[in-house]
Amino acid sequence: MQLQQLRYFVMVAELRHFTQAADEMGVSQPTLSKQIHTLEASLGAPLFERIRGDVTLTVAGQTLLPLAQRMIADADTARDAVADIVGLRKGEVRLGATPSLCSSLVPVVLRTYTSDHPGIQLHVSEGSSQDLIDSLLAHALDMALIVHPEHGVDAALDTTELLRESLVVASVAGGPPLTVGRQLDLIELRHTPMVMFRAGYDIRDVTLQACERAGFTPKFAVEGGEMDAVLAFVEAGLGVALVPSMVLANRPLLRATPLGPPGMRRTIALAQRRGAVLPHAAAALREGIIEHIASGELPAGVRGLRTVHIG
């Protein structure tokens, strides 16, 4: 029993006429009749009675008709649902990103994506790179924007390096400069109160390690915040903070002071499970992120990459 045979059967049942049904289905009348006979043979019962040119349903035909109509409707619904997914009219994406990227890169990319695909449901999870990696491995995310660790990521993941950005020192724009030159040596902050991120935050570990290499232990004015809180604390004049340059793009109350050589940089990568086929909606978002990076519309201190790192 084939779906097309059921379509022929339903059309004849509704029109009560083989020739009209064949015309409606765009096939010859012998072809339609042959398919009906094949369906009857597979079911082991006649479906129509033909008496003096009239076509009526047998008891078997009456029993089959509502079932066939429902099967055809379900098949059409399934086809339309898949077409919506493939055509990006429906679907969902589960994207993870670090807090700094959620406040800088992600909103810009999602604005374009939702404009192009308004029917796609977006779910954004914010967390540390390690938390996002754990979520990917647990199949809770389709992909994630992470800070690529120097030691690499889990072998079960693929990563595409997207951009490299500098870390800068954020301070109150209206306050006195942190240094007499255009760049700041990290050691110059040894007596300056710093606003520090919470434990487990990517930038916290990087900052503490850099200060240790520079030969001092930073003085905390306040610690324990996420990105938005840290920037707000700096705006309030509580201290300075080492932050990615992208997050200061729309913060006119803050000044960005670059670090002198060798500086501090981090690599942002897009991670997904190795070998996994992304849903159409997620694949489209992935391409949108890559295209945005390739467009070069990035803040100062951020450089897009074209290299791909696997593993």
Give the model's pLDDT for residue 304: 66
- Which CATH code fits 3-86? 1.10.10.10
Token pair listed for 292: 């945005």
Residue by residue, DSSP assigns 218-249 as PEEEEEEE-HHHHHHHHHTTS-BEEEEGGGGT
Summarize pLDDT for 52-87 with one digit per residue, the tens. Answer: 778 999 999 999 999 999 999 888 878 877 777 777
Distance CA 262, CA 300 (A): 17
Summarize pLDDT for 81-119 with one digit per residue, the tens. Answer: 777 777 777 888 999 999 889 888 899 999 999 999 898
Return the CATH number of 95-159+268-298, one of 3.40.190.10, 3.40.50.300, 3.40.50.970, 1.10.520.10.
3.40.190.10
* Angle value at C-alpha 114, between 308 and 111, nearest 5 degrees: 75
Instruction: Give the residue range(s) of CATH 3.40.190.10 domains in the chain.
Output: 95-159+268-298, 165-265
Q: Sorting pLDDT into bands at 50, 70 and 90, what band is 301? A: low
Sign for the CA dihedral angle at 18, 23, 25, 27 comes to positive
Domain 165-265 has CATH 3.40.190.10: yes
